[in-house]
Amino acid sequence: MYSTSFHSQLQQLRGTVDLAVGQFPENIVCRKVDTGDFELADYQKTLRMIFHQVLEGPFTFAMAGVNCRPHLRGAKEYFLHHAEEEKLHWRWVLNDLKETGYPADPVSLFPLPACQDYLSFNYYVALKMPIARIAIAMVLEGIGARYGALYARKICQLLSLTPKQTQFYAGHGNTDREHILDLWRVIESHELNDEEWQWMNYAAETASRLYRRMYEEALQH
Rounded to an integer, the average pLDDT of 106-120 is: 97
pTM above 0.75, yes or no: yes
Report the SS3 class of residue 129.
Answer: coil
Residue pLDDT, tens place only, 136-151? 999 999 998 899 888 9
Contact partners, residue 188, CB within 8 Å, separation at least 6: 2, 10
- The pLDDT value given to residue 3: 61
- The pLDDT value given to residue 1: 44
- The pLDDT value given to residue 25: 96
- The pLDDT value given to residue 2: 56
d(CA 172, CA 176): 6
Lowest mean pLDDT among 31-40, 88-97, 175-184: 175-184
The domain that contains 99 carries what CATH number?
A: 1.20.910.10
Residue pLDDT, tens place only, 134-191? 999 999 999 988 998 889 899 999 999 998 999 898 776 666 677 888 899 999 999 8
- The pLDDT value given to residue 29: 97
- The pLDDT value given to residue 180: 84
The mean predicted confidence, pLDDT, of the chain is: 93
Number of other residues whose CB lies within 10 A of the CB of residue 87: 16
Q: How many domains does the chain have?
A: 1
Q: Which domain holds residue 77?
A: 4-220
pLDDT band, very low/low/confident/very high, at 88 (cuts 50, 70, 90)? very high
Rounded to an integer, the average pLDDT of 30-41 is: 97
N- to C-terminal Cα separation, the chain: 52
Per-residue DSSP letters for 9-64? HHHHHHHHHHHHHHHGGGSHHHHHHHHT---HHHHHHHHHHHHHHHHHHHHHHHHH
Chain-centre distance for alpha carbon 170: 14
pLDDT band, very low/low/confident/very high, at 81 (cuts 50, 70, 90)? very high
pLDDT band, very low/low/confident/very high, at 84 (cuts 50, 70, 90)? very high
